[in-house]
Structure 1
């Protein structure tokens, strides 16, 4: 098995989002972290918009790797696994195409992973809602402002805060322990040690439609003994774009049935009847110690 190097690998899955991808890559070029300590892995899930051409403009700006898998339908779980396999650094950050990073995003993720405890780090992002971006117009207008002022303007716009912000703020000291944080492990902006991902076989590639593959990974990370930690502040923003919210709701419901069948423990059956906010507020505190077999 390859030896992981100190630093962070940013895995960005994408599909026909070349313009949004540029915004993401531009923000990852402008990081406070030294460029020798991170790489960006773009995993193309079969795009037909010549996404690969975008990558060439960044070859001399950051350490970037482009990977492609044929378009056999929605395969974001497989795309992220491909990124995990190719990652050379010890920390893997999952960051969606269309997310914009603050200058301190990568540095802050590494800080949270500075101790030896296995951790799944949840990063909050402006403009993130469960199924779609709200306040589309205002968010779009702010993103047209000069780069140095975007995050300042977002910080004074509470209606654009991550939908998880309020409920996490109400937890004592921001402590996620015992609050079933796996249900909010959304991989638009989240990081884990590569070794911990390898131990549990990465993402479940059964998922072939939107929603749930990241929450299911969070369940297995919890079972493997990972603590859930919150990245201080909001160091990213979800660039608004059109989505089929109704289809996403339908897909997520189907995927919940699969998750509950795979994980029959009572804690995870709450997905059938409770919203994620209610699951967090109810909270469970189970301890799991057995990790799964290594990623092939």
Structure 2
């Protein structure tokens, strides 16, 4: 295995999404990291690595590190990370490859479009549905733009690319984070602290397949409080401020010395 390798994290609830992605990436070497206690199913991938949960839940940071190690050990020159619920545009791999050649020491991020329920995953339909999330820069296809320091917290791990040497330079994801939240922003802060460029890549479009969710993510409240406190201990500030504000406005959490805590009931 050499060249570009797609690294995907998946657990049982996202298996159908993963199979859609595997069909869309046929012909590209894939490493799947199965996160859970259960044995992974048969999958069309060069390697399947299992990462069991930890005491606090799914070990997403550890799973990305495991996928990177497996792909690098197999000779990958560029790691393309896609969450299981993301479908790549036909040009995503080529766009990331070209951007890596132009910015060899950078972490690369493409635009993400969130699809509605029932959306067609046909390539033409996806192209017509392209509407990158407005929270992040989305250069035109073929263009790249280096992130400003203030934009680093907009890094999302659901679609990004990095050379193994750059991955080693930053040290991967911090495995102290378990369960939901915090590890992406921590990775971005590590990039910024080490002076590693973050580059927005036009044309590396990914399409997030619909699934039920909530905003703010109530099912992850305790994870967000725990991981937010770990992040604040490391960096001196709390991440996920919009969600914390929403939880506070709903009366679920309150300010406490050093951060936030659940409201006693």
Q: TM-score range by the shorter chain?
A: 0.7 to 0.9
Shift, 1:189, TM fit: 0.2
Judging changes above 3 Å, is the alpha-carbon distance between structure 1 residues 234 and 164 closer, same or farther for their aligned structure 2 residues?
Answer: farther
Following TM superposition, by how much is the alpha carbon of 1:116 offset from its aligned partner in structure 2, in angstroms? 5.4
- Are residues 206 and 111 of structure 1, via their aligned partners in 2, closer, same or farther at CA, if it must alter by over 3 Å? same
Counterpart among 119, 133, 142 of residue 119 in structure 2:
142
Take 1:154 and 1:234, find their aligned partners in 2: how far apart are those partners?
15
Aligned residue number for residue 237 of structure 1: 207
Task: Name the count of aligned residue pairs.
Answer: 232
- The alpha-carbon deviation at position 164 of structure 1 amounts to 2.2
Which of 70, 78, 87 is 1:86 aligned to? Answer: 70
Residues 1:273 and 1:150: Cα distance change in structure 2 (over 3 Å): closer
1:15 aligned to 11, 18, 31, which one? 11
- TM-superposed CA distance for 1:142, in Å, is 2.5
Gaps of 5+ in 1: 30-34, 128-135, 276-296
1:6 CA displacement: 6.0
- Would the alpha carbon gap of residues 210 and 163 (structure 1) be closer, same or farther in structure 2, given more than 3 Å must change? farther
Deviation at 1:94, TM superposition (A): 1.4
Alignment partners' CA distance in 1, 2:170 and 2:146 = 21
Mapped to 2, the partners of 1:92 and 1:164 lie a distance apart of 24
1:199, distance to aligned residue in structure 2 (A): 2.6
Q: Is the 8 A contact 1:108 1:231 kept in 2?
A: yes
Separation in 2, partners of 1:251, 1:124: 27
Q: Map Cα deviations across residues 252-278 of structure 1 (whole Å, 9 max, x no partner).
A: 3442332222124xxxx3748678xxx
Which of 9, 33, 52 is matched with 1:70 structurally?
Answer: 52
Answering whether residue 193 of structure 2 is matched by residue 197 of structure 1, we say no
8 Å contact kept, 2:232–2:239: yes
Between 249-258 and 103-112, report the one with greater CA deviation. Answer: 249-258
Q: Secondary structure at the match of 1:255?
A: helix
How far, CA to CA, are the matches of 1:162 and 1:272 in structure 2? 17
Matched, 1:97 2:88: no
Shift of 1:114: 0.3
Give me the whole-angstrom Cα distance separating, in 2, the residues matched to 1:74 and 1:270. 21
Shift of 1:231: 1.3
| 1:24 and 2:11 matched | no
1:208 counterpart residue number: 178
Q: 1:211-231: CA deviations, max 9, x gaps? A: 121221111122222111111
Query: Within 2, Cα distance between the matches of 1:262 and 1:71?
Result: 23
Match of 1:289 in 2: none
Whole-Å Cα distance in 1 between the matches of residues 83 and 147 of structure 2? 26
Q: Secondary structure at the match of 1:226?
A: coil
Cα displacement string for residues 7-48 of structure 1 (whole angstroms, at most 9, x for unaligned residues): 22211111112211101111111xxxxx4xx42110001253
Q: Which runs of 5+ in 2 are unaligned?
A: 244-265
1:43 aligns with 2:21: no
Conserved 8 A contact 1:99-1:236: yes
Tell me which of 228, 242, 247 is aligned to 1:256: 228
Is the CA contact 1:15–1:45 (under 8 Å) kept in the aligned structure 2? yes
From the superposition, tell whether residues 255 and 202 of structure 1 become closer, same or farther in structure 2 (CA, over 3 Å): same
d(CA) in 1 for partners of 2:179, 2:111? 23
